Structure 1
Amino acid sequence: MPKDVEVVSDYETKAKNILKAELKRRGVTYGQLADRLTMLGTPETERNIANKISRGSFTTAFFLMCMDAIGATSLSLSD
């Protein structure tokens, strides 16, 4: 079954915005996130993170690793 590109794009945008908001709320830069992910055993560069977040098409695993790396224990999914 083909994905509805518009629906998927809307959710990718939402995931990207949630991640960016959580980073901003905690004052964590992409460089700091890269360092924290590397310490968790998932080597990332600042550029790779910027690209993934810009595209918004990262995996759920990447999203959860980022949340763990910045110490997020809960999220609000409403605007």
Structure 2
Amino acid sequence: MTLVKSSPPPKAQPRKDAPINAEYQEKAKVLLRDMIGGDYAMLAEKLNAMGIEISVRGLENKISRGGFSAAFLLQCMGALDVSDFCVPQDESL
């Protein structure tokens, strides 16, 4: 019996590298910045009170990158007592 050696499967491309993700990361960043009105210290304080340890600088960095999780966005919304929002639809993003 002869074994046939098959080629390895193609390497999967991480979804986070997909171009459409950059657009939605930007929308998430704009949405969160609009919710806090630039007051990172206030949001950091509220998140820390919830048990989510983050510094003001760490929060600024996380939001500026825009690649935060949906869980983090929901935590921020909870801290800000936001229950209703609109996703930015600006085509220039």
TM-score by length of 2: 0.75
Q: Would you say how many aligned residue pairs link Structure 1 and Structure 2?
A: 76
Cα distance in 2, alignment partners of residues 49 and 67 from structure 1: 14
Moved over 6 A (4+): none
- Asked whether 1:50 is paired with 2:63, we answer no
Cα distance in 2, alignment partners of residues 30 and 13 from structure 1: 17
CA-atom RMSD in angstroms? 1.4
Q: Percent identity at matched positions?
A: 33
**What residue in structure 1 maps to residue 6 of structure 2?**
none
**What residue in structure 1 maps to residue 5 of structure 2?**
none
**What residue in structure 1 maps to residue 42 of structure 2?**
32
How far off is 1:6 after superposition?
Answer: 1.6
**What residue in structure 2 maps to residue 22 of structure 1?**
35
Cα distance in 1, alignment partners of residues 77 and 66 from structure 2: 15
**What residue in structure 1 maps to residue 75 of structure 2?**
65
Alpha carbons 2:40, 2:56 under 8 Å: kept: yes
- Structure 1 letter corresponding to 2:68: F
Give the secondary-structure state (helix, strand or coil) at the position aligned to 2:84: coil
Cα distance in 1, alignment partners of residues 42 and 28 from structure 2: 20
- Structure 2 letter corresponding to 1:7: I
- Structure 2 letter corresponding to 1:37: L
How far off is 1:78 after superposition?
Answer: 4.6
Unmatched 5+ residue regions in structure 1? none
TM-score by length of 1: 0.87
Unmatched 5+ residue regions in structure 2? 1-11
If you compute each CA radius of gyration, which structure gives the higher value, 1 or 2?
Answer: 2
